[in-house]
Structure 1
Amino acid sequence: MPQLFVSFVALPGRTLGDAMDDGTRFLDNVSCDGTVAQMLDSVLLAVRRNMRTAAVIRGSGREDRYDYPVEVIRELVVNALLHRDYSPGARGTQVQVELYPDRLVVKSPGGLYGSVVPSQLGVEEVSSTRNATLARLLAEIPDAEDMPVSENRGSGLPRVMTRLRRAGMSPPTFDAAPGHVHVTVPQHALLDPPTVEWIQGLPATALTDEQHIALALMRNTGAVSNEMLRAWGIESHAATSALRGLVDQGLALKSGGRRYASYELVEAAERQMTLRPPSAPMPEPVVTGRRARIDRELQAVVEAVRAGHTTVKAVSQQLGLDYTTTTRRINQLLEAGRIEATAAPHTRGRSFVVREPASPRSST
């Protein structure tokens, strides 16, 4: 029989065959069929109930934050349904959504179509579909929220990248072969549900998205700078405004001059001041300034790579560092084991990934 549906599984381990001690192989297992709009609604319901959640208060309203932004999952599933191969030879395979403790994977049967190449995915707005009639129909059919299922303007994957970056999440990876396209979204996120809950408990009002990311960076790395926020796609003036606002609300303390300013959570900064003996000499200002600048640049490079700027050129352009300085900082991070290279030096297409500590997903 044709497998023209979407399957969803929530898995207890990091590979498809892993089982729990009692033999359980699936935490949830759902087949979503019906119309495209119905399949989309069913798979989103299934994913939601298997993700952790935290509430963000926006004015008089409430917004639920999940392990993965629901808009991202929606775009990936719609993209898979729209662009999958519906020819007789591919009807034995369904669109698959797999939720692991450390990643979300959306699998679509059929490779890339037309002139689209893997390097364009998520970077350029490209539109080439093997299912033109379906694309026109989905632009007219409403989903459960009375919005068109698909716009089919090539903006879906770039929108995914933007939404992930706004949520403080790493970009997806793409595995495109003649018979399939697999999209993997790592779970690592600055704004995961526990962090969102922590932010909601702070004595602050009307925090912006930029300030949420700044607070998460301060909590996770100890300090934040304008450069680190730029790594996550925040414009320099918006980063400065967000950080100044956190200082004004009494949440952050600024250290260093205008050029080398960094910001810490008030509680962390006050703790450091308490631990310093009153008679302890101050470090040499020149050395401190240089060391602080290097440390900020190193951390900014880490955040740039984590945010999807994975080559020397991309990091240099995103942070406004010159190419030589960027190369030096990347080499320092490689030596320290904080990032890894995907290929040997001087190899075409060499990129970098952040070495993230494993953090198993916990249930709500």
Structure 2
Amino acid sequence: MTASALTRPGERDRLPVKIGQIDWRFAALLCLVGGMGGAMMYSVAGGSWEPWAFNHVVRFGFCLLLMLGLSLVPLRWWFAASYPLYAVALLLLVAVEVAGDTRMGATRWLEIGPISFQPSEIMKIGVVLALARYYHGASAKDARFSWKLIYPVGIIAAPFLLVAHQPDLGTAMLIGLTGAAMMFIAGLDWKVIAAVAIPALVAIPGYVMFGMHGYQRDRVLTFLSPESDPSGTGYHITQSKIALGSGGLLGKGYGLGSQSQLEFLPEKQTDFVFAAVSEEFGFVGSFSIILCYLAIILIAFRIASLSHSHFGRMGAAGVTCTFALYVLINAAMVMGLAPVVGVPMPLLSYGGTVMLTVMIGFGLVMATRVHRYTELPKGHGLI
């Protein structure tokens, strides 16, 4: 029996005990990936802290402290905030439709004074918390198959449709796939999965040809045949593959990647930073990064499995699914195995909003570990 299990319930709320329950191995892995991201920002900028490396390191430091602070927040507070946060995020998505800021043909941002942000990023956390709270109060039968499945489907579908309309296919995919994964983890019947998956797969070609925006359709068709237009729509994937292959086993060396240094590799600091890693550090370096991501995912799922509350289990698992999808989609995109949808590699890519969302999510994961013995009321209060 562990020392934490022997600790009296009243003593578990003491700050030193809470800090001792934080998984510092997990935090160290996050620092390793975040630090590698800072190093790559320095490299792809030609050996300069500006314009990306300094900001990346400062943002990661702030987000790490925020994650550690959130890990001490009682799980019942997360529970109480679940539906209100989801409702606020949904209202903000509606506000984007009405008064959003349009950039590069997409309406995804809200501007409040000097602050500009994407409400869809808030919704990534909101939908996980709302689903976790719903399933905390749902019976196993309702989670498996019943008319009440309309509630979790509605929780997922509303933000999915609003984000897809912006349009932001990458974020919509993350919301939809995370929600589907949580429904599966909650015990959704295989018959229901098959009944939804088969028609969806059949409908994909029609959606690609008639439901997508023109540039989105071009991305999908380019993914199927990037060589058909290597200097146009296929440029991103072509240059990414060149960077991946040219790194070989051990890479060209830190700061010596020709594709990134000579500006051939597009979006080298964001969507395609993993290609830059592969070019400079080769298969060994890129595989090491993937192993770090795998360790983070496995530890997070382990933390989820140890929670005494279903809300904690579902919330931590949902956050982990979102993180895993980030890694999977970006890696597949960079290798030409998926269309380019603008999903960054978490903590490695440059971007403060995504980093903030990921680390807030990991704050929930750590809170689930620190407060894993917490029991929560069963009522979900949805109706």
TM-score by length of 1: 0.23
Q: Greater share of helix residues, 1 or 2?
A: 2
Higher strand share: 1
Higher relative contact order at CA 8 Å, sep ≥6: structure 1 or structure 2? 2
